[in-house]
Structure 1
Amino acid sequence: MMSLTQKLSENIISYILKEQLMPGDKLPNESILSEKLDAGRSSIREAMKLLESRNIVTIRQGSGTYIAHTPGVVEDPLGFTFIEDKRKLVMDLMEVRFLMEPGIAAMAATHADENDIKKISALCNEVESLIRSNSSHAEKDIEFHTAIAMSSKNSLGTTIFLLLIAI
């Protein structure tokens, strides 16, 4: 039998899916979720802690709760910590990314809807602007590639690709 915390965490996941929230998107605050899910704020807080432990959300004190950049993926799922030659590991990861990226982009080109295209275009413009002004663009670049991957509508391919760009 599921505990209240587990049940609420499943309800929050259903809410995330229903609202089509993307990695990096902010969730409503505790009081709003409490109202929507008909649960107490302390129960919502406990469910969020459970979701954070499963890397589905990221809780930022004073800022809010956000969808994790690689939802549901633990810190080191492939055991990279135990690979000694980090330089070779980075090169191997880049090669795999270069193998996957064209396929993900092709799927996105086929499956993206109007909102996906607008988001990708806006992020592309933001990244270009940051590059032109010699500003740090790494975070926006990851958002851009995440939007492309999500637009592919292939959940497994997206998860694997997001693992590669998050490392």
Structure 2
Amino acid sequence: MKRKVKPGMTRRDQTVTRAYSATPRKRGSLTEQIKGLILAEGLRPGDLMPTEADICARLEVSRSSVREAMRMLAALDIVEVRHGHGTYVGQLSLSPLVEGLVFRGVVDQDDSLAALLEVVEVREALDLAMATQVTTSLDGTHDPELERLVAVMAEKGARGVPFAEEDLAFHTRLLGYLDNALVGQLVAAFWEVNTVVYPLLGLAPAAEIADTARAHGAMLAAAVAGDAEKYRQAVIEHYLPLRRALEKASTSGR
């Protein structure tokens, strides 16, 4: 049967849909068939899905099978079931990734510190990888909100007070200048894993919190100066206190 293509789909959308649907492996499970249906209909996050009865008829499967598949897709934020209203395409967030990594970070106490260090290394790698793009995008700019966040972090850091909220806001706004939404989402996801897992392991806060605050200021200064090399050095300094805290916990048995 020829697959219907929703009017208004771009040629790229149609190509992706045909390729996705034609892959034998993708046709193997009902969840993949439903994802193929979303593509075929040209649906986007927030759009209303076909009814359960319609899906059953089109895919020739039972209602119980569709309901089970929808539960699995809902857990991945691919669909959102709103009881009494219908099923919608989900926001396709990275929440499932965060939940999985948080659980991975605490489930095995013997390797939990190593797992957390891996998360920190990924965060640092992402920041370093985007140095050129960040400094190019912010070169010569003036952002009062970023400056305010740096000032608040410096003030809190001097008092030894954590500044998690400002930290995330700083990185989110900084990467918001890039034409790459996925990088910002990944950075926020790994930041959240780091922030959630760290206290769950009973670790003491990093002792050099003021250095971390100053590093944020150095990152911003290098970014607006268009200096990628200084930006990378500031990124490394940003993560040093956290790395030292994890290394200390590892050698002291926490």
CA distance in 2, matches of 1:163, 1:65: 27
Query: Helix, strand or coil: the match of 2:77?
Result: coil
Query: Helix, strand or coil: the match of 1:77?
Result: helix
**How far 1:36 sits from its partner (Å)?**
0.8
CA-to-partner distance for each residue in 1:103-135, whole Å, 9 max, x for gaps? 3xxxxxxxxxxxxxxxxxxxxxxxxxxxxxxxx
The 5-angstrom pairing of residues 56-135 of structure 1 reads 56-70=78-92, 73-75=94-96, 77=98, 85-97=164-176, 99-100=177-178, 103=179
Q: Which runs of 5+ in 1 are unaligned?
A: 1-5, 104-156
CA-to-partner distance for each residue in 1:19-71, whole Å, 9 max, x for gaps? 12111111011001111110111110110001011111111111111111125
Name the structure 1 match of 2:71. Answer: 49
**How far 1:75 sits from its partner (Å)?**
5.0
CA distance in 2, matches of 1:46, 1:21: 21
Q: Give the helix-richer structure, 1 or 2.
A: 2
Partner residue of 1:13 out of 28, 35, 55: 35
Which has more radius of gyration? 2
Residue type at the aligned position of 2:165: K
Q: Which runs of 4+ in 1 moved over 6 A?
A: 162-165
Structure of higher RCO (CA pairs closer than 8 Å, 6+ residues apart): 1
CA distance in 1, matches of 2:185, 2:87: 20
How large is the Cα RMSD of the aligned pairs? 3.4
- % identical aligned pairs: 29
Q: Which runs of 5+ in 2 are unaligned?
A: 1-27, 103-115, 117-161, 193-254
Q: 1:44 to 1:84 in 2, by over 3 A?
A: farther
CA distance in 2, matches of 1:76, 1:94: 22
- Asked whether 1:29 is paired with 2:29, we answer no
* Residues 27 and 66, structure 1, Cα contact 8 Å, conserved in 2: yes
**How far 1:160 sits from its partner (Å)?**
4.6
Q: How many residues align?
A: 104
Residue type at the aligned position of 1:95: L
* Residues 46 and 90, structure 2, Cα contact 8 Å, conserved in 1: yes
Q: 1:158 to 1:95 in 2, by over 3 A?
A: closer
Q: TM-score, normalised by structure 1?
A: 0.51
* Residues 27 and 65, structure 1, Cα contact 8 Å, conserved in 2: yes
* Residues 26 and 67, structure 1, Cα contact 8 Å, conserved in 2: yes
Query: Helix, strand or coil: the match of 2:95?
Result: coil
Residue type at the aligned position of 2:51: N
Query: Helix, strand or coil: the match of 2:70?
Result: helix
